[in-house]
Amino acid sequence: MECPKCGSTDVYKDGKINGHQAYRHKKCPENGGKAHRFKGELETKYITEDQIRQRHDMFYKLKKSVQELNKGEFIEEQKLLKQLGMWGKPGYRSAVEANEIKAYRGKADGTVYYGHPERIQALKEEGVLS
């Protein structure tokens, strides 16, 4: 949320105004250095299917993340799973072992890497990854 007067993001939640989240900017330079209160967008009661899946579907989170990797970019499995908040959670192993994810995964010296499927396949053909 940004201050509507100066654009600063140095604001914090401050209750509600007619069903809208209220915010306060303590030292707004456009308000003479004084605090002012303003309302944000009306909070919605609904979330999208994508938001539900992003929060609760490990396979979806993993698939979406690996599909965003560019050619030549690789990430270690442990780092990726920690970044996604999946590391050590029940059911994460079935997500990483899913057939749709295999093309994005390769292993070298005991470390599993994820990358673009074309580059993973090329490295497997060269014997760098298994």
Same domain, 31 and 76: no
User: pLDDT tens digits for 12-29?
Assistant: 888 888 777 888 888 877
| Number of domains forming the structure of the chain | 2
In this structure, are 35 and 74 located in the same domain?
Answer: no
For residues 119 and 55, membership in a common domain is answered with yes
DSSP H helices in the chain: 49-56, 58-67, 77-83, 92-96, 99-102, 117-125
Q: Which residue range is the domain that position 37 belongs to?
A: 1-45
CB 51 within 8 A of CB 86: no
**For 112, what's the count of Cα atoms within 13 Å in the CB-facing half-sphere?**
13
Model pTM?
Answer: 0.62
Decide if 130 is inside a domain.
Answer: no
Residues 32 and 90 in one domain: no
Name the domain boundary from 45, 61, 79.
45
Tell me, yes or no, whether 69 and 35 share the same domain. Answer: no
| Residue range 37-86, pLDDT digits in tens | 878 765 556 788 888 888 788 899 999 999 999 999 999 999 999 998 88
Q: How far apart are CA 70 and CA 74, in angstroms?
A: 8
SS3 state at 33 = coil
pLDDT at res. 24 = 85
* Residue 12 covered by a domain: yes
